[in-house]
Structure 1
Amino acid sequence: MIDDSLMLGFTAPLRVADGGLLMVEEQTVSGLRAWREHFGHVSAYAISAEGASPQGWAAVDPKALADEGIEIVPLPNTYDRKINREHGSEVSARLLGLMQKTRYHTFGYGGWIGDPGEIAAATARRHGIAHAVWFDRVESQVIRSTADSSLTGRAKSAIKAAIVERNERRAVRGADLSLLHGATVFNHFKNIARNPHLVEDVHFTDADRLTPDLLDAKITATAQGPLRILYVGRAAPMKGPFDWLKILAGLKANGVDFTARWVGDGELLDEMRNFASQNGLSGDDLHLEGFVSDRDTVRQFYRDAHVQLFCHLTDESPRNLIESLHSATPLVGYSDPFASGLVGEKDGGLLVQRGSTTDLIEALSGLARDRSKLADLIARAGASAAHLTRDNVFRHRSEIIRSQMPPARKTA
């Protein structure tokens, strides 16, 4: 066993490129390096999927990462039923081998059949190996939110969600430690998990925070011009994109002068474009940017916005809310424990009951009229979440893993 070593499972799949290079989501690479700052060695696994790499993925050289003390282990795509049937036992054995050579073990968790986090957690339970599971959303709720309107679609989603919910509950009950990102996810699992801990996740650093002089300039600039509305995230059902667009249509019907920008790709982006066109939202009102890979460009979008409007429909703890506060952009959206905790720190936003699009139309209309209130919210947002930086949150999680992870309950 390698002393002070961490075995880590992450949920974003890999792609194997020509020449042995691996295509990995850029933020995943950032996270692996952040973990390596706190552990002597990191062994990370994920499934290897076929097809072209999505935007925002980078080619990494496994040998170069190994020189940094980071090992990436590609696994067969066990979400594929045939592959899972034929190679599931081999994957379990390989994961067991990784556990036996590392000191600490934490698994990103999805919960569906063939999910590598589920395979790893089941293997660890079977062999009495101490481990943690990591959740940043409630996957069973996400599945329910993506059901189509047909009777067959709803039935399939209900069955799949029930299986995932059962697996989620078994995972947090069986894990020695549950790392639960954000208050919303923590509250969902805290009474089920054996050892729940509230943690946060963000990749912004102190250098990404809006400086005092830029904050002053942003506050001054709110006195005039259209209300600038932003959302950064995937165009997926759980994000409530059509609630978001309904709110914009309501603002336009009220005569509010605004510009809105959605930054992020996803399966609903084309439907969003159609909905916007059908509801009178033009290119002057709305920009659906799709995926933007440049980190500095995304950060500037945050900084330019007056508010981040969000309409999350399921229990999750998205880091885009923290990133918004780093840019002194208030949070305006649906209330849940995670958002409420961030807003409650300095009153850096306005929250309404989930689904209350009318209340959000009224709130944003009010901010467009009352620029002094908007300026105050921006100042409060700029004073929020100072403790939530990449260095702090990874240090906190590492300390919890070390203090809460017992040795194996029996020899594997």
Structure 2
Amino acid sequence: MSEQNTMLLLLPVPFRIIDSVLHIEYQAHHGLRRWLDSFDRLIVGASIMPEMIAEQRTEMRWRAVDDLDSHIDFLTLPWAYRIDTFIKELPATAALIARKIEQARYLQFAIGGIVGDWATVGAIIALRTGRKYAIHTDRIEHEILLHVSAEKSFPYRLKAALDSRILMILQKILIKNCDLGLFHGMDTYELYQQWMQESGKQNNAYCIHNIHDEDLDEENDRSNLIDTSAPRHTPITLFYAGRMDATKAPLQWLEVVRVLAEKHPGIRAIWAGEGDLRPDFDRKLRDLELEDVVDAPGFIPDRKKVAQLYRDTDIFMFTHITPESPRCLLEALKFGIPIIGYESAFAKDLIKKNGGGLVVENGNIRALANQVSEIIKKPSLLMRLKKNAQEDGKAFSSKAVFEERSALIKKHL
């Protein structure tokens, strides 16, 4: 394979084998097609998810990759998230990655952790061999480790603190020495740009955005932009789409809904998504007696149905408590849905130009409930926020964001 205009991309998103055919997560498949708009060939590496685990990940939607075989060399890597398995697989897998690095003109590593993270291994090899490389990340992983362990047992918190420290040291080495930093969202950019500044490469750090808008045709229907100054005959609808895990604070989200339901009888709230906290979510839903208010349909694989939920929504309410960059906020803005939730650099950056949303102090349930209540009481404010959200959302499309990233890779690498 000629290395000319070939990019090696090591991903955190896994592969899965179904009926002897290689599959990848649906949105990742869309991303690979977008990369092929700018590169002749790709070498794409990811771990093979064991079937026992894949069957439990009901929120993941898979798509076969055989339609991409003519342009992509798929590099299937071992699932090695246990330390003993990782140590066993490391020598052979590192050698394989090193050979693929030699075959590629451009190198991009979507790093996340240490054990089992082959993108991190690839970045280490590139650094040691003097190859230019790009780092892509959308989370401050070492801080998230501390957040999600905050209410665990002392031994668990101690281990998380140690893991967090080791991860921060390693990622700082890889990020400050990379030749291009593609940091999704302002939270990641603000920290990692400082790290790159230590090596004089701060001008090679970029705040990017990531969106997969396939099957989300927001232009078909703008019915959410009705004149809300007129008398309203349908209930206000709050919506969230994402995983039920600690980083999204779904139990805090329910507390906000409880306060709003008391103030505004008749409101509707929908959380579309699955996750580890689903049992806790269902239990709290019953404890708060919100069964008639909240609909939790789980993961919805049909993106057209998700698009319709966005169109039927008034407010996208979120309770993200960790420094990451969830794509759902961009999706909401594309549909002209104001984003109302906890403050973060990422959320503030998305709405800084037109004001298509409002944020409150992170973790302040009462403040968020009061803010949403104020919007519900003022139809003209809701209408203005919707129009502003539509303007903020115009900047985001998968075609535009992948073209931007591709141009940066070719410029700096």
Band the TM-score falls in, shorter-chain normalisation: over 0.9
**Partner residue of 1:372 out of 355, 374, 380:** 380
What amino acid is aligned across from residue 349 of structure 1 in structure 2?
A: G
CA contact (8 A) 1:6 1:104 kept: yes
How many Å separate the matches in 2 of 1:360 and 1:224? 25
Say if 2:141 is the partner of 1:132.
no
User: Structure 1: which 5+ runs fail to align?
Assistant: 406-412
Distance 1:277 1:200, change over 3 A: same
Q: TM-score of the superposition, structure 2-length normalised?
A: 0.92
**More deviation in 105-114 or 319-328?**
105-114
Task: Describe the shift of the 1:379–1:222 C-alpha distance in structure 2 as closer, same or farther (beyond 3 A).
Answer: farther
2:69 matched residue in structure 1:
66
- Supply the AA of the counterpart residue of 2:392: S
Q: How far apart are 1:57 and its partner, in Å?
A: 3.0
**Residue of structure 2 equivalent to 1:89:** 91
Provide the TM-score with structure 1 as the length reference: 0.93
Deviation at 1:264, TM superposition (A): 0.9
- 5 Å matches for 1:3-402? 3-19=4-20, 21-52=21-52, 53=54, 54-55=57-58, 56-62=60-66, 64-67=67-70, 69-147=71-149, 148-193=151-196, 194=201, 195-204=204-213, 208-210=217-219, 214-217=223-226, 223-282=232-291, 284-402=292-410
Query: How far off is 1:32 after superposition?
Result: 0.6
| Structure 2 CA distance for aligned equivalents of residues 82 and 367 of structure 1 | 53
CA distance in structure 2 between the aligned counterparts of 1:49 and 1:206, rounded to whole angstroms:
26
How many angstroms apart in 1 are the aligned matches of 2:335 and 2:229?
15
In the TM superposition, what is the alpha-carbon distance from 1:206 to its structure 2 partner?
A: 11
Report the Cα distance in structure 2 between the residues aligned to 1:39 and 1:207, rounded to whole angstroms: 25
Residues 93 and 222 of structure 1: CA distance in aligned 2, closer, same or farther (over 3 Å)? farther
Q: 1:236·1:267 contact (CA, 8 Å) conserved in 2?
A: yes
Alpha-carbon RMSD across the aligned residues, in angstroms, is: 1.9
Comparing 200-209 with 102-111, greater Cα deviation is found at 200-209
Cα contact 1:10–1:107 (8 A) shared by 2:
yes
Structure-2 separation of matches of 1:392 and 1:385: 12
Q: Describe the shift of the 1:327–1:70 C-alpha distance in structure 2 as closer, same or farther (beyond 3 A).
A: same
The Cα offsets for residues 356-383 of structure 1, whole Å up to 9 and x where unpaired, read as 1111111111122211211121121122
- Find the counterpart in structure 2 of residue 409 from structure 1: none
Task: For 2:224 and 2:170, locate their aligned partners in 1 and report how far apart those are by CA, in whole Å.
Answer: 46
Classify the secondary structure of the residue corresponding to 2:352.
helix
Which residue identity does 2:412 align to in structure 1? Answer: Q
Q: Secondary structure at the match of 1:190?
A: helix
Question: Gapped runs of 5+ residues in structure 2?
Answer: none
Measured at CA, do residues 180 and 222 of structure 1 come closer, stay the same or move farther in structure 2, by a change above 3 Å?
farther
Give distance in 2, aligned partners of 1:371 and 1:153: 47
